[in-house]
């Protein structure tokens, strides 16, 4: 049968080899993947040399990847696939806060912190006071929600990129818990825009496309609460010069926030700050899970 394959008939022949699977979803995914891959190759008249270049690229994605260097995730991010999945799977309409990709700098084992704590761990920068409220779609507070937060320093580096300076300690990240009225608050330092890693295979794509490699200034959040869908999101500096051209397409309009600048004086935590500082206030709305 294979001997008289043609450019058109090979697709069906390959797809049939998945008929013996007992896993319906597996079969659906691979039959469709084969269809789209073959259609792509036919449409662009993919050459053997081009496919070898692509396979070498995939091999190099794997070789440069490590627990702290997630090049495959970065590929998904810069091709917009991560944000496509985020938008596909979020609750439609309503007041639920939009999601935005996790990114490579979330780290397991981060420290827990009490509300009001300074989570900068001594990293120098402009003081930033973050105050957030977590509510349901009716505006009722969600008490006891777990709030992971992490962000870069004022130069654009995360703690995991500053291991020598920080002797491997965490900084600018913590796990907080909302109080009885759904509030959480902490002190840190203001982050800054930064480039996605460009010294690997993904950098070659961004370079060849002459694309911006920058991410506008942002703070990451991951909310988890019993009875609600988890929410992974980010808040972006509204007037950042890179807004609207985030290298990974996460800077959604509804997530653009004012990082308000203040002269030295009283801060939201009741202390007096003797240098200019920034405040960021936001209400995050979680969707109830259907099994509630």
Minimum CB distance to Fe ion smaller for 96 or for 172: 172
- Count of chain residues binding Fe ion (CB under 5 A): 1
Minimum CB distance to Fe ion smaller for 11 or for 217: 217
| Tokens matching residue 280 | 């960021």
Cβ neighbourhood burial of 161 (10 Å; 0-12, 13-18, 19+) = middle
List interacting residues with ligand BEZ (CB under 6 A).
74, 77, 103-105, 196, 215, 248
Quote the least distance from Cβ 100 to Fe ion, whole Å: 10
Q: For the chain, how long is the longest CA-to-CA vector? A: 81
What residues numbered 98-117 form the site for Fe ion, per CB under 5 A?
Answer: 103
Minimum CB distance to ligand BEZ smaller for 15 or for 161: 161
Cβ neighbourhood burial of 283 (10 Å; 0-12, 13-18, 19+) = middle
Distance CA 163, CA 181 (A): 37
Quote the least distance from Cβ 104 to ligand BEZ, whole Å: 5
Minimum CB distance to ligand BEZ smaller for 103 or for 127: 103
3-state secondary structure of 154: coil
What residues numbered 65-104 form the site for Fe ion, per CB under 5 A?
Answer: 103
Instruction: State the binding partner of 248 from ligand BEZ, Fe ion, none, CB within 5 to 8 A by kind.
Output: ligand BEZ
Minimum CB distance to Fe ion smaller for 103 or for 201: 103
Instruction: State the binding partner of 240 from Fe ion, ligand BEZ, none, CB within 5 to 8 A by kind.
Output: none
Residue nearest to Fe ion (CB): 103
Q: Which residue bears the tokens 């440069």?
A: 64
Q: Which residue bears the tokens 């985030």?
A: 246
Distance CA 154, CA 75 (A): 26
Quote the least distance from Cβ 275 to ligand BEZ, whole Å: 27
Instruction: State the binding partner of 104 from Fe ion, ligand BEZ, none, CB within 5 to 8 A by kind.
Output: ligand BEZ
Distance CA 79, CA 209 (A): 12
Sheet holding 231-237, edge to edge: 173-177, 146-151, 218-224, 231-237, 256-257
Quote the least distance from Cβ 277 to Fe ion, whole Å: 21
Q: Which residue bears the tokens 């420290």?
A: 111
Instruction: State the binding partner of 196 from ligand BEZ, Fe ion, none, CB within 5 to 8 A by kind.
Output: ligand BEZ
User: Using CB under 5 A as the criterion, which residues of the chain lie in contact with Fe ion when the complex forms?
Assistant: 103
């Amino acid at each position: 049968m294979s001997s008289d394959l043609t450019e058109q008939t090979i697709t069906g022949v390959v797809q049939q080899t998945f008929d013996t699977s007992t896993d319906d979803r597996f079969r659906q995914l691979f039959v469709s993947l084969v269809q789209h891959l073959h259609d792509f190759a036919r449409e662009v008249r993919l050459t053997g040399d081009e496919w070898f270049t692509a396979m070498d690229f995939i091999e190099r994605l794997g070789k440069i990847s490590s627990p702290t260097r997630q090049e495959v995730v970065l590929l998904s991010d810069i091709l917009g696939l991560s944000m496509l999945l985020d938008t596909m799977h979020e609750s439609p309409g309503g007041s639920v806060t939009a999601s935005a990709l996790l990114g490579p700098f979330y780290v397991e084992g981060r420290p827990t912190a009490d509300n009001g704590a300074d989570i900068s761990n001594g990293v120098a920068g402009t003081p930033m006071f973050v105050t957030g409220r977590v509510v349901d779609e009716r505006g009722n507070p969600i008490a006891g929600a777990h709030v992971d937060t992490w962000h870069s320093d004022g130069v654009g580096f995360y703690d995991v990129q500053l291991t020598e300076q920080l002797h491997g300690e965490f900084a600018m990240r913590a796990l907080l818990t909302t109080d009885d009225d759904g509030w959480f608050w902490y002190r840190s330092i203001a982050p800054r825009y930064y480039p996605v890693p460009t010294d690997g295979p993904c950098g070659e794509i961004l370079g060849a496309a002459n694309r911006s490699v920058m991410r506008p200034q942002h703070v990451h959040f991951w909310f988890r609460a019993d009875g609600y869908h988890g929410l992974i999101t980010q808040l972006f500096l509204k007037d950042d010069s890179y807004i609207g051209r985030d290298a990974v397409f996460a800077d959604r309009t509804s997530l653009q926030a004012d990082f308000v600048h203040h002269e030295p004086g009283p801060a939201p935590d009741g202390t007096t700050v003797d240098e200019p500082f920034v405040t960021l206030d936001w209400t995050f709305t979680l969707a109830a899970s259907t099994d509630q």
